[in-house]
Structure 1
Amino acid sequence: MSSRDLSSAVWRKSTRSGSNGGDCVEVATNLSDVVPVRDTKDRDGGTLMFTPQAWAEFIAGVKVGEFDI
């Protein structure tokens, strides 16, 4: 498993996540070749890495209700 330097990542979370410390993730979309996603409750834990294309396809699927959650 390789590690990636994410020191230049600009992390953000959804404005819908609220401030109660619930189940939130942060995403950094300012990197050109990868979209990292992490848990706000464990920022030093694992980070999921997506290609920009895979992330765009995931977001498109969310917007059209493709996932039943």
Structure 2
Amino acid sequence: MTVRTAGRRQWWKSSFSGPQGGDCVEVTLDSNGPHMSVRDSRHPDLLNLSFPATEWRAFLVDVGRDEF
């Protein structure tokens, strides 16, 4: 896992991402409540998506179950 700091946020990128980047996303915990933000690691200056932490957790559970 790679951690980058932008402003006061720490963004995490999966350890499955190679050194060349590839199709990667980064996530961070929002300071404005229990939300997760997701952004494109190749374009971190663009907008990001924000989800309630409970929805993000449910998404990760479904990914772990190979639901997608």
TM-score band (shorter)? 0.7 to 0.9
Task: Report the RMSD for the aligned CA atoms in angstroms.
Answer: 1.8
Question: 1:30, 1:45 → 2: CA distance?
Answer: 16
Question: 2:19, 2:41 → 1: CA distance?
Answer: 11
- Contact kept? 2:37, 2:50, Cα under 8 Å: yes
Question: 1:11, 1:46 → 2: CA distance?
Answer: 14
Q: Which runs of 5+ in 2 are unaligned?
A: 1-5
| TM-score, normalising length: structure 2 | 0.80
Q: Partner residue of 1:55?
A: 56
Give identity over the alignment, percent: 37
Q: Partner residue of 1:44?
A: 45
Q: Which runs of 5+ in 1 are unaligned?
A: 1-5
Question: 2:54, 2:11 → 1: CA distance?
Answer: 19
Question: 1:30, 1:60 → 2: CA distance?
Answer: 20
- Contact kept? 2:26, 2:39, Cα under 8 Å: yes
| Post-superposition offset of 1:21 | 2.0
Q: Partner residue of 1:21?
A: 21
Which has a greater percent of helix?
Answer: 1
- Contact kept? 1:38, 1:47, Cα under 8 Å: yes
Q: Partner residue of 1:33?
A: 34
| TM-score, normalising length: structure 1 | 0.79
